[in-house]
Structure 1
Amino acid sequence: MSDRFLYTLPTDPVAVPLVEQLTDEYHTRYGDYFEKGGASQEMNRYPPERFSAPDGAFVLLLRGERPIAGGAFMRYDEHTAELKRMWTDRDHRRQGLARRVLAELEAQALRQNYRKVYLTTGFRQPEARELYLRAGYSPLFDLDAEPETVQILAFEKRLLPVGALFANENGDAPRSAAAGK
């Protein structure tokens, strides 16, 4: 069975099981940490339309017709997308799915003319912290500090069009990988 990406909204019936599982995970990890209303209020802080074009995106990774991972972004500022709601189904972890969703969201952000990605994750999500560090995100907090003292772990990453990776030291125009052979 092959996997495929589906762009939709968090309110789409196919997304509901994954969104509910993420809400439950927030509740389990953070309890009453979030302001009045708990994890449900946090999950509903933004209207679903914030995660739709032209300013945002909400993507699911489907295996068959079942969502196994997903994530979203919304406009942070004119040049920056803010990642939100990255999640992998609890029965499908440790397969690199979050990294696939992250790469898809970065590519979509580029397609929507963003040049940078910003995100925050919570101090009780060490696997998310490590994912973003391994994916080249710069921490906007002291990595040596205890995460609970920082609480909101912010990251950013400049997005480069694929060809930009092959620009020479003089800053000449990007060239394709084939041209460098």
Structure 2
Amino acid sequence: MTTARRIQVCPVRQDDPLAAPLLAELAVEYSTRYERPLDEQIHTLTTHPADEFAEPDGTLLMLVEDGEPVAGGAFRRYDATTAELKRIWTSKAHRRRGLGRLVLEELEAEAARRGYARIYLTTGWRQPEAVALYLAAGYTALFDPGRPAEEIGPHPFEKTLIRLRTD
């Protein structure tokens, strides 16, 4: 007999304990992939102005399964009509389950509810899994995919949102 697991979407602040695994795992991931000091990555992620990822212009969402944070991501205002996605993360123990795609869908829906018409994001040149996720989710690459990833540097993407009616 199997027990159904339930995933909750929880908006949190950057200093919420539910966000701690996201920030810690991202710091290790970035440090390892980009050969940067771990303490530098931790500092960058934990001291970034939390208000950028808070209402009314942004959000930080966690997917929580059976009380455990398993994935998350954030957006902040990029310009008057564009939200910028940041910190998309899935716990190593929970990858290959479609949670990254679910995070994108939740962030896109929330951005549309807030009146954004477009999503913009960048991902690193050493993150081919992220590039594949964004392409599969309908994002348009704003770079030449024929060039070597290292030559491109950060890989920018965009996606037009369908506005949700609020009346």
TM-score when normalising by structure 2: 0.91
Alignment counterpart, residue 7 of structure 2, candidates 3, 9, 29:
3
C-alpha separation between the residues in 1 aligned to 2:35 and 2:13? 26
2:26 is matched with which residue?
Answer: 22
Deviation, 1:33, is 8.8
Q: Which of 1 and 2 has higher RCO (CA within 8 Å, sep 6+)? A: 2
1:116, 1:157 within 8 Å by CA — same for their partners in 2?
yes
Aligned counterparts, 1:20-169, within 5 A: 20-32=24-36, 38-44=40-46, 46-161=48-163
Aligned-residue Cα RMSD (Å) equals 1.8
- List structure 1 runs of 4+ shifted beyond 4 angstroms: none
Structure 1 runs not aligned, ≥5 long? 164-181
Secondary structure of 2:17's partner?
A: coil
Give the residue type in structure 2 aligned to 1:86.
I
Greater CA radius of gyration, 1 or 2?
1
C-alpha separation between the residues in 1 aligned to 2:90 and 2:26? 8
Q: Identity over the aligned pairs, expressed in percent?
A: 46
Q: How many residues align?
A: 161
Structure 2 runs not aligned, ≥5 long? none
Give the residue type in structure 1 aligned to 2:138.
G
Deviations 1:124-151 (A, max 9, x none): 0000001001111111110101111101
Give the residue type in structure 2 aligned to 1:28.
T
Deviation, 1:32, is 2.6
Give the residue type in structure 2 aligned to 1:159.
L
1:27, 1:39 within 8 Å by CA — same for their partners in 2?
yes
1:3, 1:63 within 8 Å by CA — same for their partners in 2?
yes
Deviation, 1:3, is 0.5
C-alpha separation between the residues in 1 aligned to 2:43 and 2:155? 20
Give the residue type in structure 2 aligned to 1:142.
D
